[in-house]
Amino acid sequence: METKTIKAFGAEAAKAPLQEMTIQRRAVAAHDVEIEILFCGICHSDLHQVHDDFGGANFPMVPGHEMVGRVIAVGNHVKKFKVGDLAGVGCIVDSCRECEYCKGDLEMFCKEETTMSFNSPDRRSGGFTYGGYSESIVTDENYVLHIPESLDLAAAAPLLCAGITVYSPFKHWNVGPGKKVGVLGIGGLGHVGIKIAKALGAHVVVFTTSEKKFDDAKRLGADEAVLSTDANQMAKYHSSLDMILDTVSAKHDINVYLNLLRVDGTVVLVGLPPEQLQIGAFNVIKGRRSFSGSNIGGIAETQEMLEFCAEHNITADIELTKMQDINEAYERLEKGDVHYRFVIDMASLKS
Amino acid sequence: METKTIKAFGAEAAKAPLQEMTIQRRAVAAHDVEIEILFCGICHSDLHQVHDDFGGANFPMVPGHEMVGRVIAVGNHVKKFKVGDLAGVGCIVDSCRECEYCKGDLEMFCKEETTMSFNSPDRRSGGFTYGGYSESIVTDENYVLHIPESLDLAAAAPLLCAGITVYSPFKHWNVGPGKKVGVLGIGGLGHVGIKIAKALGAHVVVFTTSEKKFDDAKRLGADEAVLSTDANQMAKYHSSLDMILDTVSAKHDINVYLNLLRVDGTVVLVGLPPEQLQIGAFNVIKGRRSFSGSNIGGIAETQEMLEFCAEHNITADIELTKMQDINEAYERLEKGDVHYRFVIDMASLKS
């Protein structure tokens, strides 16, 4: 297979610092789009995978699944993109396209395993996929997103993972006018969740362990902010919320939040706490409540989310960093020291 | 308030053996129906409450919330019942009637607290309600059920709790033709669950820890029976079920069952395990799966269930016992030694 050598940043082994390396990208085939990556967001799951926290990691690993840039080449049969278009690639770069879930726009649940943007068996080139901490990517046009020109390009990058991760459950659980929605945690996911829930027309209540975040919660669009460690404040919200988006990746008590739900309400987990979560039987039986999870979203819904964000002028709050400063960014991310998402200015990779 | 003294069986204190006692029933008011109780089912939760397992129990306690019998008196304004009708009273005897849930036929989620058939503050008479281990009951007609004449009366009694507890989640989660439903546990709830799921048109897979129950599962209507302790058998059902009804009241691993669900599938708990249940984040995030609970059902849905059971000739598999043998029945119930529900022949209370 014809390939092209490009520069990238990656880890040679689990927990190794990231460093410059070269990787191969496949030549542009008939249905492929080649994108020069201009910005790439840093997701907490990049860090988890470099650390092999979930097991089964493949090295060298080039992370990155929030890529935006410009189309620099297209294959003969490409219909949706032309050279010069803004384009993005998120978490998914391929899937079987034949199963009921792929056909139903739920490629993240592909029965033959979704090909993720990095650290995933590559259906096309063999080996494993390399992500967005790199100069360019070659992706089948069906897995490439149009990025609306009106959005700030750097700040739009995190929408490709953080944005769809919160938008998809809001849509699935019918968040909109007349609904009261809780957002648990104000971080990379939570801060975009507040903006999107508000834009969808819901009444948004933010739960945080830090009173210092109240002002920011309201600036982001929250109608109310609640100190989750204060039982008196929490009691006021008993049985009042239709849905709670739980973005917390640390151990936490789900029962407290189940009890804030109305009848038929749902706590939807999008964070990835490493320990098992504990649930008392009565907390779901009373009120026919649910504890559910949600995993990014399909390609069509990601495009819909980008257009929704353009319409409401929603992007992430970001801190721009250089490719060479990635290890420092990871250290700060691990401490939660970022408001609220790092994005790499990929021009730095050229220098 | 005018009252009538009747015979009953109850416990004077937590964990005390049940013994004969007398209780007061209110006089029949304008909207009340008085029912001579002919049969009363024994539910595991009777035992839990007599043991004060959930805390806050009130004594003396007369358990019983699966009552069937004949109407012996009606108030002046009663429209739905006449003397001589078959009638039943289940778990709910009153509620506020004004809140959104009462108005929406979800009296079990009444915002002002549902009045349960026993051990519940009595809205009408003060004190606490007394249940069906008694000669008769006086209940507002809006909380009384018509029992179809075609059903075996003794075997129909458990439908008033066990039946509605499984029917309601099946309806809520759209169990029917083309759906694959798991039933976890074959006991008082599970055995009725198998019958009702099958009658609703679903493909029914039963999970049990005992291969000895396979024949019985199939006799009850299961299409397949699976030994839940055999990982090889379990693996065949990965991602295949739309909904799993979990009737287990002991500690058990929910994660195993979450992984048997298709995308958007739900494990619905109707058992009451005393310990917290553990759930791993990935097991709900993958496949957008849910862990939910369900709590009996409203009055209108209970009537619908009874008519559905009459149409499909469904009753519980019961062992008839005498009121005087209640303590022995409780001991056997605690050991799971009943196929599958005890029902008290209330004629024994007269002797």
**Mutation for testing the A interface, residue in B286, B288, B294, B301 having most A CBs under 10 Å:** B288
Look at residue B188 in the predicted model and tell me its pLDDT: 95
Look at residue A207 in the predicted model and tell me its pLDDT: 98
A290 CB neighbours in chain B (<8 A) are 266, 290-293
B152 & B166 share domain? no
What is the CATH classification number for the domain harbouring B166?
3.40.50.720
pLDDT tier at A107 (50, 70, 90 boundaries)?
Answer: very high
Which tens digits make up the pLDDT trace of A66-80?
A: 999 999 999 999 999
Q: Supply B60's token pair.
A: 């003396």
Output b/e per residue, A37-65; b: 16+ Cβ within 10 A: bbbbbbbbbbbbbbebeeeebeebbbbbb
Look at residue A190 in the predicted model and tell me its pLDDT: 97
Which 109-128 residues of chain A touch chain B by CB within 8 A? 109, 111
Instruction: Work out the minimum CA distance from B100 to partner chain A, whole angstroms.
Output: 10
Contact yes or no for A294 and B285 at CB 8 A = yes
**Domain-embedded: residue B207:** yes
Q: Check pLDDT > 90 for residue A300.
A: yes
Query: 């310990």: which residue's tokens?
Result: B275
Spatial distance between the Cα atoms of B221 and B194, rounded to a whole number of angstroms: 6
A102 & A43 share domain? yes
What is the CATH classification number for the domain harbouring A101?
3.90.180.10
Which tens digits make up the pLDDT trace of A335-350?
A: 989 999 999 999 999 9
Spatial distance between the Cα atoms of B184 and B158, rounded to a whole number of angstroms: 19
Contact B74, B36 (CB under 8 A): no
Q: Among residues A277, A293, A309, which one ends one of the domains?
A: A293
ipTM over 0.85 threshold = yes
A55 CB neighbours in chain B (<8 A) are none
Looking only at the bridges linking them, the beta strands covering A277-279 and A241-246 are unpaired
| Three-state SS letters, chain A | CCEEEEEEEEECCCCCCCEEEEEEEECCCCCEEEEEEEEEECCHHHHHHHCCCCCCCCCCECCCCCEEEEEEEECCCCCCCCCCCEEEECCEEECCCCCHHHHCCCHHHCCCCCEECCCCECCCCCCECCCCCECEEEEEHHHCEECCCCCCHHHHHHHHCHHHHHHHHHHHCCCCCCCEEEEECCCHHHHHHHHHHHHCCCEEEEEECCHHHHHHHHHHCCCEEEECCCHHHHHCCCCCEEEEEECCCCCCCHHHHHCCEEEEEEEEECCCCCCCEEECHHHHHHHHCEEEECCCCCHHHHHHHHHHHHHCCCCCCEEEEEHHHHHHHHHHHHCCCCCCEEEEECHHHHC
Q: Among residues B278, B293, B308, which one ends one of the domains?
A: B293
Is residue B270 within 8 angstroms of chain A, CB to CB? Answer: yes
Look at residue B25 in the predicted model and tell me its pLDDT: 97
pLDDT tier at B351 (50, 70, 90 boundaries)?
Answer: confident
Candidates A263, A269, A278; nearest CB to B285: A269
**Domain-embedded: residue B304:** no
B280 CB neighbours in chain A (<8 A) are 276-277
A166 & A192 share domain? yes
Contact yes or no for A286 and B272 at CB 8 A = no
Is residue A351 within 8 angstroms of chain B, CB to CB? Answer: no
B85 & B229 share domain? no
B37 & B73 share domain? yes
Instruction: Work out the minimum CA distance from B172 to partner chain A, whole angstroms.
Output: 10
Taking CA atoms, what residue in A is nearest to B255?
Answer: A276
pLDDT tier at A288 (50, 70, 90 boundaries)?
Answer: very high
**Domain-embedded: residue B107:** yes
Contact A121, A95 (CB under 8 A): no
Q: Check pLDDT > 90 for residue A110.
A: yes
Contact A35, A136 (CB under 8 A): yes
Look at residue B7 in the predicted model and tell me its pLDDT: 98
**Domain-embedded: residue A303:** no
Candidates B109, B277, B287; nearest CB to A109: B287
Contact yes or no for B277 and A279 at CB 8 A = yes
B195 & B288 share domain? yes
More confident residue, A250 or B129: B129
A91 & A74 share domain? yes
Is residue B330 within 8 angstroms of chain A, CB to CB? Answer: no
Is residue A59 within 8 angstroms of chain B, CB to CB? Answer: no
Which tens digits make up the pLDDT trace of B231-256?
A: 999 999 999 999 999 999 889 999 99
What would the mean pLDDT of B153-165 be, rounded to a whole number? 98
Q: Check pLDDT > 90 for residue A298.
A: yes
Is residue B269 within 8 angstroms of chain A, CB to CB? Answer: yes
Instruction: Work out the minimum CA distance from A341 to partner chain B, whole angstroms.
Output: 22
B172 CB neighbours in chain A (<8 A) are 288
The share of chain A scoring above pLDDT 90, in percent, equals 97
Look at residue B1 in the predicted model and tell me its pLDDT: 78
Q: Among residues B293, B309, B330, which one ends one of the domains?
A: B293
Which pTM does this prediction carry? Answer: 0.96
Instruction: Work out the minimum CA distance from B57 to partner chain A, whole angstroms.
Output: 16
Is residue A277 within 8 angstroms of chain B, CB to CB? Answer: yes
A238 & A104 share domain? no
**Total domain count, chain A:** 2
B220 & B277 share domain? yes
Contact A257, A237 (CB under 8 A): no
Is residue B261 within 8 angstroms of chain A, CB to CB? Answer: no
Spatial distance between the Cα atoms of B235 and B69, rounded to a whole number of angstroms: 47
Look at residue A351 in the predicted model and tell me its pLDDT: 80
What would the mean pLDDT of B31-36 be, rounded to a whole number? 98
Is residue A201 within 8 angstroms of chain B, CB to CB? Answer: no
pLDDT tier at A54 (50, 70, 90 boundaries)?
Answer: confident
Is residue A195 within 8 angstroms of chain B, CB to CB? Answer: no
A183 & A275 share domain? yes
What would the mean pLDDT of A129-154 be, rounded to a whole number? 98
State the average pLDDT for chain A: 97
Which tens digits make up the pLDDT trace of B198-235?
A: 999 999 999 999 999 999 999 999 999 999 999 999 99
Look at residue A274 in the predicted model and tell me its pLDDT: 86
A99 CB neighbours in chain B (<8 A) are none
Instruction: Work out the minimum CA distance from B271 to partner chain A, whole angstroms.
Output: 8
Which tens digits make up the pLDDT trace of A202-221?
A: 999 999 999 999 999 999 99
What would the mean pLDDT of B274-298 be, rounded to a whole number? 97
Identify the domain containing residue A190 by its residue range.
162-293
A276 CB neighbours in chain B (<8 A) are 255, 278-280
Instruction: Work out the minimum CA distance from A283 to partner chain B, whole angstroms.
Output: 8
**Mutation for testing the B interface, residue in A166, A243, A269, A295 having most B CBs under 10 Å:** A295
**Domain-embedded: residue A275:** yes
Contact yes or no for B278 and A277 at CB 8 A = yes
**Domain-embedded: residue A69:** yes
Is residue A281 within 8 angstroms of chain B, CB to CB? Answer: yes
Q: Check pLDDT > 90 for residue B274.
A: no
A279 CB neighbours in chain B (<8 A) are 276-279, 291
A327 & A264 share domain? no
**Domain-embedded: residue B308:** no
A152 & A288 share domain? no
